[in-house]
Structure formats: structure tokens, C-alpha cells
Amino acid sequence: MTEISAGAGSLFEVDARTRRRNAAETRFRLYGMAAVATGILALVFLLVSILGNGLSSFRQTGIELQVALDAAALDKTGNRNAQEMKKVTTVGYGKIIGAALVDGLAKAGIDTSDLTDKQVAALLSDEAPRRLRDMVLADPSLVGRTVPFTALASGRVDGFLKGRVTMESAKLDSNISPEQLAVVQAMKDHGMLALSFNPSFFTNADASELRPEAAGLGVAMLGSLYMMMIVLVLSLPIGVAASIYLEELAPQNRWTDIIEVNISNLAAVPAIVYGILALALFINFIGLPQSAPIVGGLVLTLMTLPTIIIATRAALKAVPPSIRDAALGVGASRMQTIFHHVLPLAMPGILTGTILGLARALGESAPLLLIGMVAFVKDYPAAPPQGFMQPASALPVQVYQWTQRADPAFVERASGAIIVLLVFLIAMNATAILLRRRFERRW
Amino acid sequence: MNIMQTPVIDAAVLKPRIAASGVQVHYGTNHALKDVSVDILDRTTTAFIGPSGCGKSTFLRCLNRMNDTVASARVEGKILLDGQDIYDRRVDPVQLRARVGMVFQKPNPFPKSIYDNVAYGPRIHGLARTRADLDEIVEVSLRRAALWNEVKDRLSAPGTGLSGGQQQRLCIARAVATGPEVLLMDEPCSALDPIATAQVEELIDELRERYSVVIVTHSMQQAARVSQKTAFFHLGNLVEYGDTQQIFTNPQDPRTESYITGRIG
Amino acid sequence: MTTDTPHIAPTFDREIEALLAQLVLMSGLVERALVDSATALEAQDTAAAERLIAADKAIDALDEQINLDAAGLIARRGPTASDLRLILAVMRTSASLERMGDLAKNVAKRTLPLAQARQVEGATGTIRRMAKLVAVMLEEAMRALTRKDAKLAAEVRGRDVDIDQIYNTLFRSLLTHMLENQANITPSMHLHFIAKNIERAGDHATGIAEQAIYLATGRMPEEARPKADFPLSPKGMG
């Protein structure tokens, strides 16, 4: 029999079969790179579109004014008593601010002859009087003086500075006219108004449709925070305990098999189904207040539990049985083995799973919509625990709400909210990765 | 002169620490151990040898009730430790395992410091009242495992940072820290290089002065070197049990002869 | 040659076979040496005696080779139980065979001076018969060894007493010869030593049989072998 050997020709000559194989492998590598490139392209497209729309929401147009705080109008009794001065509503302050603007325009030499005073005052946001009122009530001694005040400009003015609103669109717009825009332009040239960083985007509550410039994420962020707290406090212990029981203590019979299968199924159930469950169980049957973080927190807990259970089980399974044997061999009981040895080693996996579960919960909107968090919430909920029962909003829900509104300024706001949401998600994922790396070094 | 220091079989001098009679083990439908009766003598190293699947590890794990952790295992028969049946319902396996220690095939120190590794057993069994007591237990155990001189300056270093042989000696120190009467060793040297193996074998000889040692091993040379009594298992039966010298020069059962000389059947 | 089940490693079996083959070859040479030396003695064939003296080197060389191979087997294979007893028995048997070869060589050496001396009537014939008996003992002891036949070995062991008795008879007759005539002393002394050598060879053959018993049963035979080698003083001879 002739020797079958692969070593026939020279090593430096590549035969046809090898060439074909190399070509196939190179093609495969190119396919992979193309797939990755497609993914990255999609991601870039997403980011560019969101950042493009949303970054401008962090800045807001403000009008520099010198406001004469007329004591006669604001403090009828003359006592500078904040309680009594509260009787003066924003209407009164509105008049003062309107006057300040007219004066300011006159001083700057801007021609406002085609506009009525009311139209000039319309350049200001309806939010501005409230801010002035808050400022005065906080410090009544200001009354009687002329103070510098940056007033929030109206949504259309803001849009003009950001390029949303043009002379063309103003002709069709009922809220602003090209004449007003001409004045705005002049103000801008004079330096009376400018775009500046807008921290109130984060601190304000939501505002009505008419005042996109005043809409903020404050309530939504607080609501999300409350819900995350509830989710963390409830789902982590319950999930870990359930996992430990299923993995270590439960007898291996048909019942535990059924439970395991169902937990995996639960992780795949669409979020909106949880919303329906929450509506029926928490709101209708138990009677918890609608739109409250407690309900949102509970439903998100239910959603996160399967994720945590599955991640914890995987982490527990990954602990090598030799550690368990060693602990048992030294005379540790089952519980001591679990708590002293298995759980610490499983911690990185558990933490990662929890944080990823929380990140998912943060971004879920469907179940929250069903429990009524779509409602317009203007006031901050109180501190916990009462705050858990009061109506609140949530970040993803706020995004949804704002996109439903007609004013294009809300598109900018919604994108801004998405950016905030993304920042939180990235931070949570980064924390998960960091924690995992730090704990993995241990053994 | 008896160079093997084989103890003269005098029942009054070396009493059995563990007396097993009629032990049967079923794993589900698999009859893994059939009617095993053997005595493990005090201050003696007993070797269990036999081909794969013969039941020697199964029997070893019966001696400290590690088979309890296997759901499908069913153990019948009597195993007496100092006269008390360890499978009696009143016996807590946790307490038993403080008196019958175990060292495993692959060194498995806890991912804690060397000190904490050795101190864990005494801590959970409440053997030390003060920190000084615990320090002493740790030092004594590490000395008995011939490891003290190598690690006394770095007791807080992680146990997993030691070499293979040192890790196994750490596991031995951990096992003796609870003051057991019997030490069970399941192929303790199979993951070690020849030098570490020789060190551990020498250590077993020292441990024999204080504890009963039972060692399961695949290496017949090791069984011959290390033990005074040898038990040969085959297909779940205890085929022959006797003095190591005699088993390895003139075994009585032909199955033992075949296995020891490396013959088929 | 062994009737045991084969080792899982057939090379091990082959090595043992080779070792035993050498041993059997050596014992064949020793048998021949014993018988030939006695025959040369009877025929006063000094040339044959010289050849025999030279041929002992082959026996010595075999002993050395067997020891080397046995040591190698122990080092490499770590034999236990019956394998261990076999190697030990082979080494001891080789030593016995080498001694027996030396004894046959001494017989041949003494043939040279005896050819010049006066003949003693019938002695060489007795000696030849003795040698033949020892050769047969050796052959059967070797068979008992290779077949691990304890019964055969015990039976061979029992025959040593016959050799002893032949030696005793020859000793008494040589004594008588020496007393008869002083000129007989030199040849008689030579013949006596020759007879003693053959008797010693018989003891060695018995030793080989005892190794066979050790190999087969794991224990050396307990009872002392039957001996009769201190001849009674010739009371009735004056």
C-alpha cells in the first residue's frame, strides 16, 4: 500500500485546496466586519439623530431685563411680609415684567411700533412671572428696587433662536408673527437675549402644552428614582432568595422543573402584559393609587424578578462544586456553605444581573402607561414613604408624552429626555461592568 | 527488624476507629457497594485500591456521610465511629464531619486568606473562645501539615496563591484544624507533581501518629508506600483486606493478584 | 512458560519470558557441565576437562546478564505479588546455578591431576551416577520453577537425601581405600572433594526447588529439608 502523506510538495507552494480555504476564511472575516460595521452605523445614526435633536434642549433663551419691583403693586400693606405678598398672583407680576420688557426695548432703541404691548409681552414665557414671584417671595426686601432678572423667553422665541421657527413659518403660525420675530432679531443683535445653559430642564416639573420652554424632567426623574428604589429593595432580596432556594435547597422533582420553566417564560413575557396585571391587581383589586411610584415600582419588580432569578441561578451554578465539597467536608451546614462561600463567589454575577435588570426597568414604558403614569403631573411627590403614594411620572413615559404633543419644541425636549435616559443607562451598565471586573479578580 | 513498622496485630493496642458491617449503597437503581465489612484501625493508614468504578470512593464518602449530598444515594448497613452508628437518626452530619475530616482530589482552598482557610472550621464549630486560641489552633494545624515554615510570614495572603502541593497541605491543615479522629483522603496526590506527592506522602506518615488515615488511591505503588493495611475493592465488593506487605507480596484472592500485577481479568 | 493470565502490557510478559529463557538456557548449560565433567573424569579425558573449564565462562556471563535484566525489570516495572516473587526466585536461582557451574568446573579441574594418579576402583562410576542424579534433580527443579509446580518441587526436594546417602557411602569407601594404602590418599582426597562438590550441587538444586515452592505458594517451605550428610563414623571398621 502506498503511503498516504500530506507532505508531498514544497512548503512554500500553496496548493489549490488551501488557497480556496484561505479565500473562504477571508470572505467570512469580511462578512463579520460588514455585520459589525452595519451595527455601528445604525448606532451612529441613532446617536446623531438624538443628539442633534436633543442637545439644544439643555440650553434655553433668556431675556436680560431690569425689573422695577413696584412696591405699590406687589406689597399692598408695605410690611414686606411674604405671607401677605402671596396674595399677589402671577398676573400682577406679569404686568410688571411686561412693563420691564417694553422699557428695556425702548432703552435699547429697538423699534416696536408695529407691535402692541400685549404682543411685546407675548415674547416672554408664561413661566417668567412665576419665577419672578418666587424670587420676590423668597426675598421680600427686593421690593421697591430695580433688580436684574433673566426672564424665560416664550417657546416660539426660543425656537427662533434654535432655528426651528423662521420668518416663513411665522407667517402661518398663530402664536408668533414675523413682526415679533423682527423685534426678537433686533434684541438678539443688541445682546438682550441669548441662549444659555438651562438647569431648569432637570429641575422643573412638566409644563402644559403651551409652555414647552418651561417643561422639565424633574418630576419624571424623581418618579423614576423612587421606582428604582422600590425595585431594588424588593426584587434583589426576593430574587436572590428564590434563586438560592431553587438551586440549593429544593428537591429535584417535577414541581421544581415546572417552576424553572415558568420562570424562564416569565422573563420573555411582553412588558405590557405586566401592565395589565398591575392594573387589575394593584389598582383595581388592592386599590393602590393610580400613577403612583409604588404601583410602578411593584410592576417593574415583577418584571425584573425573572431576570434576577435567572442571573443569580447562573452565578450560583458557576461556583465550582469543589468549594461546596470543601465547606461541607469541614463540617459547615448547608446554610453556612451557601452564605459563607457560595454567595460571595456568586456576587459578581448577581450584581451584574441586578444592574442589568434595573437598567431594563428604568427604560420600560409600556406597563407604566397602563397604570396611568401618562397623567400630567405638575407637582413633585413628597419624600418617601408618602411620596411613593403620590402621583409621579417616569422618564420613558415623559418621553412618550412629549412626543405626543403638537408643539415641535417638545420634540427637542423629548430628545433631551432620551439623552438623559441614555446617560443613566450607560452609567448603570458601566457600573455593572466595573463591579464585575472588580469582584472577578478575587478568585 | 520490621522495617515497615507494621504494627503487630494486637487487638488491645490498635482498636478499630471505624467498624463497618454489611454496608450497601444504591445510587438509584445502581447497586454501587455490596455488603462491605471492614475495620479502620486507629493510628494506621488504610489504603483503598481498586479499578475505576469499584466503589472505593463511594465507601470513603460513606464514612463522613458526604453521600447525603447526593439525592439518589441510599445507604444501608452499620458504620460505627468509636462504637456509635453514624447513620443513626440522632446524628447530625455537620458534627460528624468535624470528627471525620476530608481532603479531596483537587486541592480546593477557600478563596480567603491562609489564616481564614484554617480558622473556618474551628470558627463555625465554636472551638476557640478567644483570638489567641484561634491563632494557636491555626499554627498547630499548619505545623502538623508541614506548612507553617513556608507561610508563617504571609498568613493573610490568599490561599489560592500557593503552589499545588502547598494548597493540598493547606487543605490538610484545614481538615485537621477541627481536631478530627479520622482523616479521609480521596486521591490526594493525583493532581500533584512527584515532589509535592512525596512531601504529602511523608506528611501522611506523620499524620498517622495522631489520626486514623484512610486514603483512596489509583497508584498501587503509593498504596504500598504509604499504608499499613490495604483493602482491595472490585465491582462494589470488598475482595481482600490485610497487611499491605502481605497483599503486595502474596495476595490471597486471584482477583487481587490480577489487579496488583496488572493482569487482565 | 507461565500459565497465568497475560499482563495488560504484553511487553511485560515478553520481558519475563526472555528472562526465564535465559535462566533455562543457563540451567541446561549447568546440567551438561555436571554430566560432562563426571564423564570426563571417568574417561580420564583431560582435553574434555580443559574445554569444560573454559566453558564455565559462558555460565558466569549468563548469570551477570540475568542479574542486569532482573534489576532493569524491577526498576522499570515495579513488579508485585507473584511477579515480584518470580524475579526474586530467578535472581536466587541464577546465583545457585552459577555456583553449580563453578562446582562442575572444580570437578573438571581435579580431573587433570587425577589422570596421572592411581585409579580407585568404581569411584568414578559412582560419581558419574551421582552427577546424573543431580542433573535430573536440576532439570525437574527448573520445570517446577517455570510451571510453579509446588508438588513437583517438594518431591525434588525429598530426593536430596538420596544424593547425600550416595555421598556417605562413597565417603566410607574412600576412607577404607585411604586406610588400605597410603598411596591411595592423594587420589582418594581428590575424589572425595569431587564427590563433595557434586553433593553441594545437589543441595543447590534443592535450593532451586525451594525457590519454586516460594514462587508458587508465597512462603518458603517450613520444614527443614531432609538431610543426611554427616556420615556415621565407621564403627565397624576399626
pLDDT tens figures, A137-173? 888 888 888 888 888 888 888 888 888 888 888 888 7
Spell out the SS3 assignment of A284-329: HHHCCCCCCHHHHHHHHHHHHHHHHHHHHHHHHHHCCHHHHHHHHH
Contacts of A10 (CB under 8 A, 6+ apart): none
Q: Helix, strand, or coil here: C200?
A: helix
Q: How far apart are CA C49 and CA A133, in angstroms?
A: 143
* Residue B197, min C-alpha distance to chain C (Å): 18
All cell numbers assigned to A426: 450607560
* Residue C143, min C-alpha distance to chain B (Å): 22
Q: How far apart are CA B32 and CA B24, in angstroms?
A: 8
Q: Which residues of B touch C7 (CB under 8 A)?
A: 261-264
Q: Mutating which of B108, B123, B138, B187 best tests the A interface, going by the most A Cβ atoms within 10 A?
A: B108
The amino acid occupying position A210 is L
Give chain C's mean pLDDT.
Answer: 91
In chain A, which among 342-361 make CB contacts under 8 A with chain B? 345
* Residue B220, min C-alpha distance to chain A (Å): 25
Q: Helix, strand, or coil here: C226?
A: coil
Number of residue pairs across B and C with CB atoms under 8 Å? Answer: 42
How many contiguous H segments (helices) and E segments (strands) does chain C have? 6, 0
Q: How far apart are CA C120 and CA A407, in angstroms?
A: 148
Q: Is residue B2 one of the residues assigned to a domain?
A: no
Contacts of C132 (CB under 8 A, 6+ apart): C35, C38
* Residue C85, min C-alpha distance to chain B (Å): 7
The pLDDT tens digits of the residues spanning C67-111 come to 999 999 999 989 999 999 999 999 999 999 999 999 999 999 999
* Residue B15, min C-alpha distance to chain C (Å): 28
Of A322, A325, A329, which is closest to B101 when you measure between CB atoms? A329
Q: Which chains touch A (3 or more CB pairs under 8 A)?
A: B
Q: Is residue B7 one of the residues assigned to a domain?
A: no
- Asked if B113 reaches chain A (Cβ–Cβ under 8 Å), the answer is no
Q: Is residue B74 one of the residues assigned to a domain?
A: yes
Q: Helix, strand, or coil here: C7?
A: strand
Q: Is residue B11 one of the residues assigned to a domain?
A: no
Q: Could you say which of 3.50.50.60, 1.10.3720.10, 3.40.50.920, 3.20.80.10 is the CATH number of the domain covering A218-440?
A: 1.10.3720.10
How many domains does chain B divide into? Answer: 1
All cell numbers assigned to C106: 572444580
B108·A330 Cβ contact <8 A: no
**Domain CATH code at residue B227:** 3.40.50.300
Tell me: pLDDT of C26 over 50.
yes
In terms of Cβ atoms closer than 10 Å to its own Cβ (0-12, 13-18, 19+), residue A199 is exposed
* Residue B260, min C-alpha distance to chain C (Å): 7
Q: Could you say which of 1.20.58.220, 3.20.10.10, 3.40.50.1000, 2.40.50.140 is the CATH number of the domain covering C10-237?
A: 1.20.58.220
The amino acid occupying position C169 is T
Residue of A nearest to B121 (CA): A330
C-alpha triplet A418, A421, A427: angle, nearest 5°: 140
What is the β-pairing status of strands B229-234 and B182-186?
A: unpaired
The pLDDT tens digits of the residues spanning C159-205 come to 999 999 999 999 999 999 899 888 889 899 999 999 999 999 999 99
Tell me: pLDDT of C236 over 70.
no
- Ranges of each domain in chain C: 10-237
The amino acid occupying position A245 is Y
All cell numbers assigned to A82: 411674604
Question: Partners of B47 in the beta sheet?
Answer: B215, B230
Query: What pLDDT score does C235 carry?
Result: 47
Q: Provide the domain limits for residue B131.
A: 16-261
What torsion, rounded to 10 degrees, do the Cα atoms C229, C230, C233, C236 define? -30
Of B66, B95, B108, which is closest to A323 when you measure between CB atoms? B108
Spell out the SS3 assignment of chain B: CCCCCCCCCCCCCCCEEEEEEEEEEEECCEEEEEEEEEEEECCCEEEEECCCCCCHHHHHHHHCCHHHHCCCEEEEEEEEECCEECCCCCCCHHHHHHHEEEECCCCCCCCCEHHHHHHHHHHHHCCCCCHHHHHHHHHHHHHHCCCHHHHCCCCCCEHHHCCHHHHHHHHHHHHHCCCCCEEEEECCCCCCCHHHHHHHHHHHHHHCCCCEEEEECCCHHHHHHHCCEEEEEECCEEEEEEEHHHHHHCCCCHHHHHHHHCECC
Element (H, E) at C216: helix C185-217
Phi, psi of A411 (to 5 degrees): -60, -40
Is there a contact between C123 and C174 (Cβ–Cβ < 8 Å)? yes
DSSP 8-state code for residue C232: P
Query: What pLDDT score does A113 carry?
Result: 78
B250·C5 Cβ contact <8 A: no
B110·A341 Cβ contact <8 A: yes
DSSP 8-state code for residue C133: H
Contacts of A182 (CB under 8 A, 6+ apart): none
B263·C9 Cβ contact <8 A: no
In chain C, which among 177-236 make CB contacts under 8 A with chain B? 218-219
Q: How far apart are CA B107 and CA B167, in angstroms?
A: 6
Q: How far apart are CA A152 and CA A336, in angstroms?
A: 62
B125·A333 Cβ contact <8 A: no
Query: What pLDDT score does A104 carry?
Result: 84
A340·B120 Cβ contact <8 A: yes
Cis omega (within 30 of 0) for bond into A344: no
Give chain A's mean pLDDT.
Answer: 86
Q: Which residues of B touch C16 (CB under 8 A)?
A: none
| Residue whose C-alpha is closest to residue A271's, from A291, A244, A300, A292 | A300
One digit per residue, pLDDT tens: chain B, 265 residues?
Answer: 455 554 444 444 688 899 999 999 999 999 999 999 999 999 999 999 999 889 999 999 999 999 988 888 999 999 999 999 999 999 999 999 999 999 999 999 999 999 999 999 999 999 999 999 999 999 999 999 999 999 999 999 999 999 999 999 999 999 999 999 999 999 999 999 999 999 999 999 999 999 999 999 999 999 999 999 999 999 999 999 999 999 999 999 999 999 999 987 6
Q: Helix, strand, or coil here: C132?
A: helix
A442·B111 Cβ contact <8 A: yes
Contacts of A356 (CB under 8 A, 6+ apart): A307, A311, A428, A429, A432
The answer, yes or no, to whether A and B have at least 3 beta-carbon pairs within 8 Å is yes
What torsion, rounded to 10 degrees, do the Cα atoms B19, B23, B25, B30 define? 140
- Ranges of each domain in chain A: 58-198, 218-440
| Residue whose C-alpha is closest to residue C114's, from C57, C194, C200, C170 | C194
Spell out the SS3 assignment of chain A: CCCCCCCCCCCCCCCHHHHHHHHHHHHHHHHHHHHHHHHHHHHHHHHHHHHHHHHHHHEEEEEEEEEECCHHHHCCCCCCCHHHHCCCCHHHHHHHHHHHHHHHHHHHCCCCCCCCHHHHHCCECCHHHHHHHHHHHHCHHHCCCEEEEEEEECHHHHHHHHCCCCHHHHHHCCCCCHHHHHHHHHHHHHCCEEEEECCHHHHCCCCCCCCHHHCCCHHHHHHHHHHHHHHHHHHHHHHHHHHHHHHHHCCCCHHHHHHHHHHHHHHHCCHHHHHHHHHHHHHHHHCCCCCCHHHHHHHHHHHHHHHHHHHHHHHHHHCCHHHHHHHHHCCCCHHHHHHHHHHHHHHHHHHHHHHHHHHHHHHCCHHHHHCCCCCCCCCCCCCCCHHHHCCCCCHHHHHHHHHHCCCCHHHHHHHHHHHHHHHHHHHHHHHHHHHHHHHHCCC
DSSP 8-state code for residue C8: S
The answer, yes or no, to whether A and C have at least 3 beta-carbon pairs within 8 Å is no
C-alpha triplet B256, B257, B261: angle, nearest 5°: 115
| Residue whose C-alpha is closest to residue A394's, from A302, A307, A300 | A300
Compute the residue count for chain A. 443
Q: Which residues of A touch B62 (CB under 8 A)?
A: none
Is there a contact between B257 and C226 (Cβ–Cβ < 8 Å)? no
Residues of chain A with pLDDT below 50 are: none
Global pTM?
Answer: 0.78
Phi, psi of A184 (to 5 degrees): -60, -45
- The DSSP string of C21-44 is HHHHHHHHHHHHHHHHHHHHHHHT
C84·B265 Cβ contact <8 A: no
- Sign of the CA dihedral running C138, C144, C145, C150: negative
DSSP 8-state code for residue C230: S
